[in-house]
Amino acid sequence: MIESEGGPVADRCGGSTPVILIVERQAARARAMLRSLSQHGYRCVVTRTTEEAFFRMATESFDLVIIGSEPVSRSGKKLLEVLQGRQRHVAKLVLGPRECSAHAIQALANGADDVAALDLSEAELLARVGALLRRDAERTALRKTIGDLTMDIGARRVWLGTREIPLTSKEFELLLYLIQHVNEVVTPEMLARDVWREPNRVSPLQSVIYVHLSNLRRKLRKNEELDPIRTIRGVGYQLDDAIFLLPLG
C-alpha cells in the first residue's frame, strides 16, 4: 500500500513544495513521519518496500528520500546505489538503530547524506530534513543535470550515470557552455568568444576547438551509433539532450 499526503506541488522552479519519499515497513512509524512532515508543509509519499520505492522513483521526482527500518543490507544498499546513480541530486536520510556505529558507517559509505536513529523525535526529524533540503538547494544551484549526465560546477566533476568522466579544464568549460545552450547550435565564433575568450582569433582556433570537441564527444559517447555532440556543417555544434535521456548500455 502506498500513502500520500500534503498539498499540491507548485512549479519546482519557483517556490515549490519539497516532495519526500519515505521508505518504511513499520506502519506506525511511517504514519508518524508522514503526519509530522505533512503538517510542516512537505508533500510525502510512503512506500513499504524498496521495490515500491523503485517504482515510485521511476514515475515521480523527489527532493529527499528517507530510508527507515529497511536495513542497509541488500535492498537498502541497492536503493542507495540507484540514488547515487541517475538520481544523485536527491538527498538521502537513513534511519537505523541508535548507538550502532557500524550501521551508520555502512549507510554513509553507500551514499547516505545523513544518518539518524529510528526513534528520533519529531523536532530532530524536522531539523534534519530541513538541513538536508537546504544543503541540496545550495548544491542544485551549482549543478546541471540532463538525464544520465550530471555536472557539478562547484567541484568541477562530471558523471555519466554512476561513472565519473575525467575532463580537462577546457573540456569542462566547453561542456558547461554546451549544456547552457543545450539543443541550440553554437558557432565557432561563440566558442572562441565565450569559452576561449579570444573573439578576434576565430580562424586560428578552429582546429583547437575541433580537437577539444572531438575529445569531449568521445568521452560522453554511450555507444558508437549515438553522437552526443552533433556537427551542423557550415554552422556549428549542438549538444543533443535526447542522447542522455536514453537508457545506459
Residues 21 and 56: beta-carbon distance below 8 Å: yes
Backbone conformation region of residue 99, classed left if phi is above 0, alpha if psi is from -120 to 50, else beta: left
Asked whether residue 77 falls in the same domain as residue 191, the answer is no
Give me the average pLDDT of each 10-residue run along the chain (249 residues): 50 63 93 95 92 86 85 66 70 85 82 89 95 77 79 86 90 92 92 88 85 92 79 91 70
Asked whether residue 121 falls in the same domain as residue 203, the answer is no
Give me the pLDDT at residue 59, please: 82
Residues 230 and 186: beta-carbon distance below 8 Å: no
Asked whether residue 69 falls in the same domain as residue 94, the answer is yes
Asked whether residue 105 falls in the same domain as residue 62, the answer is yes
**CA separation for the pair 90, 96 (Å, rounded):** 19
CATH classification at residue 201: 1.10.10.10
CATH classification at residue 16: 3.40.50.2300
> Cβ contacts of residue 8 below 8 Å, gap of 6+?
17
Asked whether residue 134 falls in the same domain as residue 151, the answer is no
Asked whether residue 80 falls in the same domain as residue 172, the answer is no
Give me the pLDDT at residue 32, please: 95
Give me the pLDDT at residue 191, please: 93
Give me the pLDDT at residue 110, please: 81
Quick: pLDDT tens for 58-103: 888 889 999 987 555 556 777 887 776 656 678 899 998 887 788 7
- Which of 138, 165, 188 is the endpoint of a domain? 138
Asked whether residue 131 falls in the same domain as residue 89, the answer is yes
Asked whether residue 77 falls in the same domain as residue 184, the answer is no
Give me the pLDDT at residue 215, please: 93
207 phi and psi, to 5 degrees? Answer: -70, -35
196 phi and psi, to 5 degrees? Answer: -85, -15
Parent domain of 12: 3-138
- Which of 138, 160, 186 is the endpoint of a domain? 138
Distance of CA 223 to the CA centre of its chain: 22
Give me the pLDDT at residue 3, please: 61
Kindly report the number of other CB atoms within 10 A of residue 52's CB atom: 16
